[in-house]
Amino acid sequence: MCGIVGLFLKDKSLEPQLGALLTDMLVTMTDRGPDSAGIAIYSEDREGFAKLTVQMNDPAGFEGLGDEMSKALGTDVSVEVKDTHAVIELAEAKLDEARAALAELRPEARIMSQGEVIEIYKEVGLPADVAKRFDIAHQHGTHGIGHTRMATESAVTTLGAHPFSTGADQCLVHNGSLSNHNSLRRKLAREGIKVNTLNDTEVAAAYLTWKMQQGKSLGDALEASLEDLDGFFNFVVGTKDGFGVVRDPISCKPAVMAETDQYVAFGSEYRALVNLPGIEDARVWEPEPATVYFWKH
Amino acid sequence: MQTFDLEANGLRGLNEALQAQSQTTNATAWEVVNPRGSHAVAVGLDAPIEVTVKGSTGYYCAGMNKQATIHVEGSAGPGVAENMMSGTVIVEGDASQYAGATGHGGLLVIKGNASSRCGISMKGIDIVVQGNVGHMSAFMAQKGNLVVCGDAGDALGDSIYEARLFVRGSVKSLGADCVEKEMRPEHLEILADLIERSGVDAKPEEFRRYGSARKLYNFDIDNAY
């Protein structure tokens, strides 16, 4: 069992509240997943800049990193530390160099996300504690996805928590279990796609990355996943300006959606949505099996 | 009228209060406010009382109901009225998966749509859905009636025993051993009664009947792998 929440804002006036709304939704889903929690936040787009969200078990390692990276890259690099994570911001054109420099300067650092707007935070622990450690409640943003994990098939670790990055500004969260992830992992390895953990969802994320590398859109990649992935899944995905949902054909994992003029929201259960503004008058429905839903700004 | 604030007083308090009502209780009308999608609201009741839930509920609302009338003025999460024995459960909105699962008796009315596996393994319950039902509805249904005023999804009545299925709209596909059957006067009578008791707007003549072909009842070497 796991819990998923997602919020895609249409009304800009809600953007300052995104983190607070999402945190409330996430904490409500604690009893679906008390092991670990994670949040992907899509915040404001600074023209010409890009971000890496990086995790280190010992945050002392972030000390001096900004200066060292600035020197290595010959450009200004800012590092904002939040508990075990740090958001590294720099000129977009230097992003690939920055990854290489980081790998050299801090080989123990793990990249959670990269892109123009995305930040991914995830850790082991109760959702309320994880959200507090990263001060998610004060985050502004256009959309966000949260996940509470109750592990069923791989270890409870930071890297086993969701969301998983599927590419620049993209992420995936999952409720369910995949039964063909080992064979798919081997297939992806032959295609040169690296998967770091034994987690099934990471394989799904890698699968989507692979499909998109072949030129498929995210929507088409999700359609293809209905054919190639075996098992139970509710996927919620985020892109720079979009938000998508797909459920497997059996759809035994719960899902509720709500839409108003102000937002589109996803919850594993209706409980997660009850504090959203105007929920009483929202259109509330259960997403259909084997159907890709997608919203875009 | 007894009003119970679920947010203020908690789920255990609600179910204890409702389950404590006797056959001859004077507290026959209850209102539950602030359900906020809670699980297991008004379960295991066994008295002729009326409970109105002012909003939407989560998993297993009105489960194992006996005698009581439970009215959900919102939508219901998975497993509403699961294993109901008798009484009536009315959902104003939609119902999530496996509504009325394994129900032995009573009447479940869903005014909106029901999603997948509605009436799975039903054992005598009557279910009336004003909208559509999702895939695998009435899977392994054994007894009772499922009335669908809208459309039915894939694999309706898969591996069905002796339940009767009535569908007014289209059926996307029939499951294994489920076939369309002749609508005889006694079936129109059953339908007319269910339509009247559930208060839906439909005429018995508009429905088609489906049931078991009874080909899975006995061992057949051609079915073996």
Phi, psi torsion values for A209, nearest 5 degrees: -60, -45
Contact A270 B75 (CB under 8 A): yes
Q: State the Cα–Cα distance between residues B220 and A194, nearest whole angstrom.
A: 49
Q: Is any Cβ of chain A less than 8 angstroms from the Cβ of B116?
A: yes
Residue in chain B lying closest to A31 (CA):
B39
Min Cα–Cα distance to chain B from A271, Å: 5
Q: What is the pLDDT of residue B223?
A: 65
Q: Secondary structure of chain A in the HEC alphabet?
A: CEEEEEEEECCHHHHHHHHHHHHHHHHHCHHHCECEEEEEEECCCCCCEEEEEEECCCHHHHCCHHHHHHHHHCCCCEEEEECCEEEEEEEHHHHHHHHHHHHHHCCCCEEEEEECCEEEEEEECCHHHHHHHCCHHHCCCCEEEEEEECCCCCCCCCCCCCCEEEECCEEEEEEEEECCHHHHHHHHHHCCCCCCCCCHHHHHHHHHHHHHHCCCCHHHHHHHHHHHCCEEEEEEEECCCEEEEEECCCCCCCCEEEECCCEEEEECCHHHHCCCCCHHHCEEECCCCCCCEEEEC
Question: What pTM did the predictor assign?
Answer: 0.95
Instruction: Look at residues B131, B207, B216, B132 and name the one whose alpha carbon lies nearest to residue B178.
Output: B216
> Do B33 and B6 meet the contact criterion of CB atoms below 8 Å apart?
yes
> Do A239 and A167 meet the contact criterion of CB atoms below 8 Å apart?
no
Chain B CB contacts of A269 below 8 Å: 37, 58-59, 77
Q: State the Cα–Cα distance between residues B157 and B141, nearest whole angstrom.
A: 7
Contact B135 A273 (CB under 8 A): no
Q: Is any Cβ of chain A less than 8 angstroms from the Cβ of B19?
A: no
Chain A CB contacts of B77 below 8 Å: 254, 256, 269-270
> Do A75 and A97 meet the contact criterion of CB atoms below 8 Å apart?
no
Spatial CB neighbours of A96, under 8 Å, sequence gap ≥ 6: none
> Do A233 and A249 meet the contact criterion of CB atoms below 8 Å apart?
no
Contact A274 B36 (CB under 8 A): yes
Contact A284 B78 (CB under 8 A): no
Name the class of domain A46-116: alpha beta
B29: part of which helix (H) or strand (E)? Answer: strand B29-33
Q: State the Cα–Cα distance between residues B212 and A152, nearest whole angstrom.
A: 38
> Do A254 and B78 meet the contact criterion of CB atoms below 8 Å apart?
yes
Same fold, A2-39+140-296 and A46-116: no
Which token pair is A201?
């969802």
Dihedral sign, Cα of residue A148, residue A152, residue A156, residue A157: negative
Q: What is the pLDDT of residue B219?
A: 73
Q: What is the mean pLDDT of residues A83-91?
A: 97
Query: Which of A25, A247, A286 would best serve as a mutation to test chain B binding (most B beta carbons within 10 A)?
Result: A286
Residue in chain B lying closest to A276 (CA):
B36
Q: Is A2 a catalytic residue?
A: yes
Q: What is the pLDDT of residue B220?
A: 75
Which token pair is B132?
């559509």
Contact B115 A271 (CB under 8 A): no
Residue in chain A lying closest to B95 (CA):
A286
**Of residues A269, A285, A289, nearest to B77 (C-beta):** A269
Q: What is the pLDDT of residue A243?
A: 92
Q: Is any Cβ of chain A less than 8 angstroms from the Cβ of B175?
A: no
A2-39+140-296: CATH topology: Glutamine Phosphoribosylpyrophosphate, subunit 1, domain 1 (3.60.20)
Q: What is the pLDDT of residue B224?
A: 65
Contact A284 B75 (CB under 8 A): yes
**Of residues B77, B116, B134, nearest to A270 (C-beta):** B77
Q: Does domain B2-218 have CATH number 2.160.20.60?
A: yes
Contact A251 B97 (CB under 8 A): yes
Domain ranges within chain A, ordered by starting residue? 2-39+140-296, 46-116
> Do B18 and B87 meet the contact criterion of CB atoms below 8 Å apart?
no
Contact A269 B36 (CB under 8 A): no
Query: Which single residue is written with the structure tokens 């690099």?
Result: A77
Q: What is the mean pLDDT of chain B?
A: 96
Q: What is the pLDDT of residue B50?
A: 98
Dihedral sign, Cα of residue B9, residue B14, residue B16, residue B18: positive
Which token pair is B35?
């359900």
Q: What is the mean pLDDT of chain A?
A: 95
* Separation in Å, CA B79 to CA A54, A63, A142, B164: 42, 52, 35, 21
Which token pair is B135?
């895939």
Per-residue pLDDT reduced to its tens digit, A90-142: 999 999 999 999 999 999 999 999 999 999 999 999 999 999 999 999 999 99
Three-state SS at B91: strand
Q: State the Cα–Cα distance between residues B128 and A36, nearest whole angstrom.
A: 41
**Range in A207-211, B147-151, B188-192, B208-212 with the lowest mean pLDDT:** A207-211
**Of residues A269, A286, A289, nearest to B58 (C-beta):** A269
Q: What is the pLDDT of residue B225?
A: 61
Spatial CB neighbours of A127, under 8 Å, sequence gap ≥ 6: A3, A26, A27, A29, A30, A33, A34, A37, A146, A148
Q: What is the mean pLDDT of residues A163-178?
A: 94
Q: Is any Cβ of chain A less than 8 angstroms from the Cβ of B132?
A: no
What is the bridge-based pairing of β-strands B164-167 and B208-212?
A: antiparallel
From the list A2, A54, A208, A273, the catalytic residue is A2
Residue in chain B lying closest to A272 (CA):
B37
Per-residue pLDDT reduced to its tens digit, A192-207: 998 888 999 999 999 9
